[in-house]
Amino acid sequence: MRKNLKHYINGEWVESTGNETYNVINPATEEPMGQISLGTKEDLDKAVQAAKEAFPSFSQTSKEERIEMLENIAEAYARRKDEFIDVMTDELGAPLKISEKVHYSMGYNHFAQAAESLKNIEFMEDRGNHTVVKESVGVSGLITPWNFPTNQASTKIASAFAAGSPVVLKPAEMTPFAAIMLAEIFDEVGVPKGAFNLVNGTGETIGDGISSHPDIDFVSFTGSAGVGAKVMQNASETIKNVALELGGKSPLIVLEDADMKDAARNAVSHIATNTGQVCSAATRMLVPASKKEEFEQAVLEVLPEFPVGHPREGNYVGPLVSKKQWDTVQSYIEKGIDEGANLIAGGTGLPEGLEKGYYAKPTIFTDVSNDMVIAQEEIFGPVMSIITYDTIDHAIEIGNDVVYGLAGYVYGKDPETLKKVATSIRAGRIKVNDASHDFAAPFGGYKQSGIGREWGDYGIEEYLEKKAILGFPS
Ligand code: NAD
């Protein structure tokens, strides 16, 4: 059992000023796997003060010093690969392969990419009559969710460090141990005192405290749309800028000329990877009416390639993160049945043979209409809705008919149709067929999926202010 009842403030691990603790539950066993402290407003104040004191010197470090620091972090992170995999498998319930190929890898790539992107950022630009200087935005408050413990924290921290902005991080209380490992790594590589601070605790105390703190200049939040709105409201009191990375209900548009088996495998991987707890996952599969039966059949055929079970036993789909998340997913499955969608696989209850752990059945609904709740709301579990369309314009219309705009996917062959769909979906990231990941590409949402961009140079820009100087001596 892991135990860390301290917070990392001003370059050292310090006791919490409160005495409330929180048991972190392993969702595969329903047993505690660790314990943390729930911080107080006093702990947060100390962390913000440390970041504020670090600001004058940290913001003035040279680009070269920060590149070296990020490269050192990436190297130190890689040395602890096995432990990261172990921790995320236990705190999140991610299967070992997903912990390695998705979670561990994304965290590493954000530090490595930030070092690369920073090399090409110019902090001073002569624009004729004036000079533009890019400067650190100041003390940055970072609030992260549980579904990607290293990815979310790492992209924010790497961008902030690249910009010379000191941070206070509050990770999700359900998955805090990967973030605690990051603090240990920053300590090991000598990140300047106060440039990184970690306070564990609840959203109501520490998260709310960050978004309303007068000495925090910028807040980067990843989580649900409801909490995001509250963060923005709090931040408005002191006119601080916010970056919000919120939810999604992304479409995957399958073209008439697609190989239906390949498209179905791609579709199922979206709801299976990380047990569907992925903000950018495609959950609405838009299929030509003429191909409906073929696509449904292909989905049922590939489903067994994604077995559900214990994350340490070679399965692809692990448990959901918590009982609360399990209940939410169950209620959406019930809702889909009540709304009259046609259930062709999965359903409510535990998968056969599993009695302990928050496991849900990968669930496929077809004959879904886009105005059903299961087609409009983010479920955050292994649930797919198949919706049919008549023409490409109809598919695009359905794809965009949702409050979210985080991602969009298109699968097929005709280059002109692929281009048309890619440029017509109103979302921050579009993937054509099996395009591979690119950590330099910006990530973020249109509409109610958020404000701002993360990853690579666009991510770093979020942590920079732009100053115009007129009459700057040359
Ligand atoms: P959540 O909004 O419940 O919590 C996110 C974080 O906010 C946690 O650290 C939580 O403790 C904190 N928080 C809770 N109440 C708060 C408050 N009043 N003030 C400030 N902070 C508060 O979300 P979650 O359930 O942890 O994560 C799932 C959500 O995150 C999904 O909606 C998902 O789509 C979204 N998400 C988005 C992205 C993205 O990049 N767009 C990535 C991952 C997850």
The 10s digit of each residue's pLDDT in 29-41 is 999 999 999 999 9
245 in active site: yes
Regions of the chain short of the pLDDT cut 50? none
Query: Ligand 1 center to residue 349 CA distance, Å?
Result: 26
If one residue of 221, 279, 446 were mutated to test the ligand 1 pocket, choosing by the most ligand atoms within 8 A of its CB, it would be 279
- Of 91, 245, 296, 461, which is the active-site residue? 245
Atom of ligand 1 nearest to the CA of 171: 9
Query: Ligand 1 center to residue 142 CA distance, Å?
Result: 11
Can you give the pLDDT at residue 214?
98
**Digit-coded pLDDT (tens) for 160-215:** 999 999 999 999 999 999 999 999 999 999 999 999 999 999 999 999 999 999 99
Q: Which CATH number is correct for 2-246+449-470, 3.40.720.10, 3.40.630.30, 3.40.47.10, 3.40.605.10?
A: 3.40.605.10
Burial class (CB in 10 A: 0-12, 13-18, 19+), 135: middle
Q: Within the chain, which residue ranges are assigned CATH 3.40.309.10?
A: 250-438
Can you give the pLDDT at residue 411?
98
Q: Is the CB of 231 under 6 A from ligand 1?
A: yes
Q: Within the chain, which residue ranges are assigned CATH 3.40.605.10?
A: 2-246+449-470
Three state DSSP letters for the chain: CEEECEEEECCEEEECCCCCEEEEEECCCCEEEEEEECCCHHHHHHHHHHHHHHHHHHCCCCHHHHHHHHHHHHHHHHHCHHHHHHHHHHHHCCCHHHHHHHHHHHHHHHHHHHHHHHHCCCCEEECCCEEEEEEECCCEEEECCCCCHHHHHHHHHHHHHHHCCCEEEECCCCCCHHHHHHHHHHHHHCCCCCCEEECCCCHHHHHHHHHHCCCCCEEEEECCHHHHHHHHHHHHCCCCEEEEECCCCEEEEECCCCCHHHHHHHHHHHHHHHHHCCCCCEEEEEEEHHHHHHHHHHHHHHHHHCCECCCCCCCCECCCCCHHHHHHHHHHHHHHHHHCCEEEECCCCCCCCCCCCCCCCCEEEECCCCCCHHHHCCCCCCEEEEEEECCHHHHHHHHHCCCEECEEEEECCCHHHHHHHHHHCCCCEEEECCCCCCCCCCECCEECCEECCECHHHHHHCCEEEEEEECCCC
Query: Ligand 1 center to residue 332 CA distance, Å?
Result: 19
Can you give the pLDDT at residue 38?
98
Query: Ligand 1 center to residue 225 CA distance, Å?
Result: 8
Q: Is the CB of 407 under 6 A from ligand 1?
A: no
**Digit-coded pLDDT (tens) for 87-104:** 999 999 999 999 999 999
Q: Is the CB of 363 under 6 A from ligand 1?
A: no
Q: Is the CB of 143 under 6 A from ligand 1?
A: yes
Q: State the average pLDDT for the chain.
A: 98
User: Whose C-alpha lies nearest to ligand 1, atom 14?
Assistant: 203
Q: Is the CB of 211 under 6 A from ligand 1?
A: yes
User: Whose C-alpha lies nearest to ligand 1, atom 43?
Assistant: 279
Query: Ligand 1 center to residue 119 CA distance, Å?
Result: 31
Can you give the pLDDT at residue 474?
77
Q: Which fold has domain 250-438?
A: Aldehyde Dehydrogenase; Chain A, domain 2 (3.40.309)
Q: Is the CB of 212 under 6 A from ligand 1?
A: no
Percent of the chain with pLDDT over 90: 99
